[in-house]
């Protein structure tokens, strides 16, 4: 069975959280009374996970942290309650395993904070210049390929860094991800501290499990690959290593220019060798500090971190980006099993993915998921592809799970298929988004369904509404980011298409620019690329391998240039209106709270 979710208790986090809520409630009152300035309140709001919306006024987005993506039935029930009582009846899974609830009135935010605190959750440091939600592979503790179960390590890292004084006013945000094996489903390779479980052979021939820590990765407008800190980090030294990296960042990050403030720019300035030297020196002296995390965390000692183990017989499902998926069965249940079920752990359990289109879950679906989890006695994780993963299942429970998911519209085959498009919230709610990324995602999905290409396997599509890559467009097989275009004297929504992004096997390739497109032509471009890939790929060939074999992104783009055309406004007015909008497109970008 997977590790039991643990609600943090070591530092009496419950008492600290109640004080947080009281202080924030007082700050809201002071801000509305004009006693606290906008600049000061913004920092307090962001550090408590409360983000302003494009709609302005007192509309707020509340971002709820789910360390390692773990969620319980009680927490799912609360998600249903707050999305219904405080928002518009739905919540959104992010690419960092958070749940976001939009359109919450500012004065009601403290009550939302109390509701989630009652079930062991917090929004503390989900935004702002802090240590963000600590992520882990959604299959951690259930993966047939893992070297260690990284779940308790991610939860221990969350416990150690939340409200930790050294992480409260960093130069910029700091992100930590964990993966249990080199497949890197947790996407450690583009984070400030990315941790991948590995093993090494000792002189006596025995094997020791530990970690390889990668540092200073990032996406955004200037993506940087994470770089290995050292060949092997022991279990005893892992948390001290991450703290040493964080301390170096706090000391050397650029506080004068937020656009160059992430850890990747520290490496750009000092060089990776000097950064490594300073981190290891800091780690060496860390036992003298008041925040030294010690060796193996008590939480890990308590629940254990043994790998799930590979089955000695039976089917073992491959995992990771580029996995070949074949949809041979014709019946709905068989098709769901072929794409959504992961087998192969030594304890005989299986996992299955519930498909949440665009990461959106309604209040009714939240309640149903909680009921299913209780009925099956399963553990549940949220994935970085915005889906819900049921684990610790038996083979006999799979038909029951399918039937329950079918009843709530979440049993469609989606995992690792082209229809599983990932998108950020875009200009629906985000202040700095240029385009309606969710609208494009829906349009691509519709076009793929119409063309019979929605179930092409082993291909990922990610969309961001701007260059900041909240939709992680850089690491998808096909990526898009929104940009304003000008045509015939008018503004129009557009996208840059990228091809060939990949994360896995302790490597990362960022997507290469193919061409710019009108927003309304982007679905047709995606269809053409996927059709060509489907027709030309060899058996089991990954998208990146196919792309390189046929000449790269620039060569593929040659077959799409006819789509980069804006008709005159009078001939095709829809080209000048973004998805889901009625009025002509305007790139109304507000002040960025991402860089505050």
Structure tokens at 534: 């489907």
Q: Are strands 360-362 and 90-93 parallel, antiparallel or unpaired?
A: antiparallel
Domain limits at 140?
135-303
> 498 - beta bridge partners?
479, 513
How far apart, in whole angstroms, are the C-alpha atoms of residue 130 and residue 296? 24
CB 462 within 8 A of CB 423: yes
Q: Looking at the structure, do residues 141 and 214 belong to the same domain, yes or no? A: yes
How far apart, in whole angstroms, are the C-alpha atoms of residue 582 and residue 439? 13
- Residue 585, in any domain of the structure: no
Task: Report CA dihedral (73, 415, 198, 277) to the nearest 10 degrees.
Answer: -90
User: What is the model's pLDDT at position 9?
Assistant: 40
The CATH number for 251's domain is: 3.30.413.10
Q: Looking at the structure, do residues 139 and 225 belong to the same domain, yes or no? A: yes
Q: Taking Cα atoms as reference points, which of 347, 346, 329 lies closest to residue 338?
A: 329
User: What is the model's pLDDT at position 56?
Assistant: 75
Last residue of a domain, one of 303, 337, 371: 303
Q: Looking at the structure, do residues 29 and 157 belong to the same domain, yes or no? A: no
- Residue 502, in any domain of the structure: yes
Q: Looking at the structure, do residues 56 and 185 belong to the same domain, yes or no? A: no
Q: Looking at the structure, do residues 260 and 167 belong to the same domain, yes or no? A: yes
Number of domains in the chain: 3
- Residue 315, in any domain of the structure: no
Q: What strands lie across the sheet with 350-354, from one edge to the other?
A: 70-71, 379-382, 388-393, 350-354, 341-342
Q: Looking at the structure, do residues 564 and 438 belong to the same domain, yes or no? A: yes
User: What is the model's pLDDT at position 13?
Assistant: 66
Q: Looking at the structure, do residues 105 and 213 belong to the same domain, yes or no? A: no
User: What is the model's pLDDT at position 253?
Assistant: 98
Q: Looking at the structure, do residues 69 and 142 belong to the same domain, yes or no? A: no
- Residue 409, in any domain of the structure: no
User: What is the model's pLDDT at position 294?
Assistant: 86
Q: Looking at the structure, do residues 444 and 571 belong to the same domain, yes or no? A: yes
The CATH number for 76's domain is: 3.90.480.20
Enumerate residues 6+ apart whose C-beta is below 8 A from 565. Answer: 518, 521
Q: Looking at the structure, do residues 109 and 185 belong to the same domain, yes or no? A: no
Q: Are strands 227-228 and 422-423 parallel, antiparallel or unpaired?
A: unpaired
- Residue 376, in any domain of the structure: no
How far apart, in whole angstroms, are the C-alpha atoms of residue 146 and residue 198? 9
How far apart, in whole angstroms, are the C-alpha atoms of residue 377 and residue 398? 13
User: What is the model's pLDDT at position 7?
Assistant: 38
Instruction: Read off φ and ψ for residue 366, nearest 5 degrees.
Output: -55, -50
- Residue 322, in any domain of the structure: no
- Residue 108 exposure: Cα atoms within 13 Å on the Cβ side: 15
- Residue 584, in any domain of the structure: no
How far apart, in whole angstroms, are the C-alpha atoms of residue 569 and residue 577? 10
Enumerate residues 6+ apart whose C-beta is below 8 A from 124. Answer: 17, 20, 47, 48, 49, 65, 162, 163
Q: Looking at the structure, do residues 139 and 239 belong to the same domain, yes or no? A: yes
DSSP, collapsed to helix, strand or coil, labels residue 42 as helix
Last residue of a domain, one of 303, 336, 369: 303
Alpha-carbon radius of gyration of the chain: 23
Q: What angle do CA 378, 75, 305 make, to 5 degrees?
A: 50
Last residue of a domain, one of 303, 327, 359: 303
- Residue 321, in any domain of the structure: no
Q: Looking at the structure, do residues 24 and 165 belong to the same domain, yes or no? A: no
Per-residue pLDDT of the chain (596 residues; tens, 9 = 90+): 444 443 334 456 688 899 999 999 999 999 999 999 999 999 999 999 999 998 777 899 999 999 999 999 999 999 999 999 999 999 999 999 999 999 999 999 999 999 999 999 999 999 999 999 999 999 999 999 999 999 999 999 999 999 999 999 999 999 999 999 999 999 999 999 999 999 999 999 999 999 999 999 999 989 999 999 999 999 999 999 999 999 999 999 999 999 999 999 999 999 999 999 999 999 999 999 988 888 999 999 999 999 998 876 667 888 888 787 766 777 999 999 989 999 988 888 899 999 999 999 999 999 999 999 999 999 999 999 999 999 999 999 999 999 999 999 999 998 889 999 999 999 988 988 999 999 999 999 999 999 999 999 999 999 999 999 999 999 999 999 999 999 999 999 999 999 999 999 999 999 999 999 999 999 999 999 999 999 999 988 999 999 999 999 999 999 999 999 999 999 999 999 999 998 999 887 766 675 43
**Three-state secondary structure string covering 103-157:** EEEHHHHHHHHHHHHCCCCECCCCCCCCECCCEECCCCCCCCCCCCCCHHHHHHH
DSSP, collapsed to helix, strand or coil, labels residue 174 as strand
């Amino acid at each position: 069975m997977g590790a039991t979710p643990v609600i943090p208790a070591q530092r009496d986090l419950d008492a600290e959280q109640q004080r947080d809520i009281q202080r924030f409630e007082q700050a809201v009152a002071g801000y509305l009374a004009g006693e606290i300035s906008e600049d000061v309140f913004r920092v307090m709001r962001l550090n408590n996970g409360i983000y302003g919306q494009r709609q302005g006024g007192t509309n707020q987005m509340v971002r709820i942290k789910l360390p390692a993506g773990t969620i319980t039935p009680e927490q799912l029930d609360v998600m249903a309650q707050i999305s219904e009582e405080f928002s518009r009846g739905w919540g959104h899974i992010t690419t960092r395993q958070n749940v976001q609830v939009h359109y919450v009135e500012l004065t009601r935010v403290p009550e939302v904070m109390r509701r989630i605190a009652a079930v062991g959750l917090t929004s503390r440091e989900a935004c702002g210049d802090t240590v963000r939600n600590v992520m882990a592979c959604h299959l951690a503790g259930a993966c047939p390929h893992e070297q260690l179960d990284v779940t308790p390590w991610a939860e221990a890292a969350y416990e150690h860094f939340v409200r930790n004084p050294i992480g409260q006013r960093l130069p910029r945000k700091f992100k930590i991800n964990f993966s249990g094996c080199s497949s890197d489903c947790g996407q450690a390779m583009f984070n400030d501290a990315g941790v991948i479980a590995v093993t090494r052979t000792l002189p006596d021939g025995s094997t020791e499990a530990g970690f390889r820590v990668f540092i200073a990765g990032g996406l955004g407008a200037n993506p940087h690959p994470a770089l290995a800190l050292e060949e092997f980090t022991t279990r005893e030294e892992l948390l001290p290593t991450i703290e040493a990296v964080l301390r170096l960042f706090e000391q050397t990050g650029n506080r004068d220019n937020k656009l160059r403030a992430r850890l990747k720019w520290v490496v750009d300035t000092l060089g990776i060798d000097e950064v490594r030297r300073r981190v290891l020196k800091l780690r060496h002296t860390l036992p003298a500090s008041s925040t030294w995390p010690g060796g193996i965390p008590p939480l890990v000692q308590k629940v254990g971190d043994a790998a799930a183990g590979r089955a000695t017989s039976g089917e073992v499902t491959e995992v990771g980006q580029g996995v070949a998926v074949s949809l041979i069965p014709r019946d709905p249940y068989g098709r769901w099993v072929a794409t959504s079920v992961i087998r192969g752990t030594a304890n005989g359990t299986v996992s299955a993915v519930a498909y949440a289109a665009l990461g959106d879950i309604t209040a009714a679906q939240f309640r149903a998921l909680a009921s299913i989890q209780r009925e099956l006695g399963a553990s549940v994780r949220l994935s970085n592809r915005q889906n819900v993963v049921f684990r610790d299942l038996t083979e006999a429970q799979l038909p029951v799970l399918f039937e329950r998911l079918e009843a709530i519209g979440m049993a469609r085959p989606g995992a690792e298929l082209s229809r599983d498009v990932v998108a950020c919230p875009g200009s629906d709610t985000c202040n700095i988004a240029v385009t309606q990324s969710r609208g494009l995602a829906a349009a691509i999905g519709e076009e793929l369904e119409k063309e019979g290409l929605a179930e092409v396997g082993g291909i990922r599509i990610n969309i961001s509404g701007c260059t900041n890559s909240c939709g992680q467009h850089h690491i998808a097989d096909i990526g898009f980011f929104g940009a304003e275009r000008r045509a015939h004297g008018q503004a129009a929504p557009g996208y840059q298409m990228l091809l060939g992004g990949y994360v896995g096997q302790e490597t990362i390739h960022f997507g290469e620019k193919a061409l710019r497109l009108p927003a309304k032509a982007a679905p047709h471009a995606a269809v053409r690329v996927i059709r060509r890939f489907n027709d030309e790929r060899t058996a089991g060939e990954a998208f990146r391998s196919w792309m390189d074999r046929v000449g790269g992104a620039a060569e593929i783009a040659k077959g799409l240039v006819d789509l980069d055309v804006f008709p005159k406004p009078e001939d095709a007015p829809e080209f000048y209106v973004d998805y889901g909008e009625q009025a002509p497109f305007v790139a109304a970008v507000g002040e960025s709270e991402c860089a505050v």
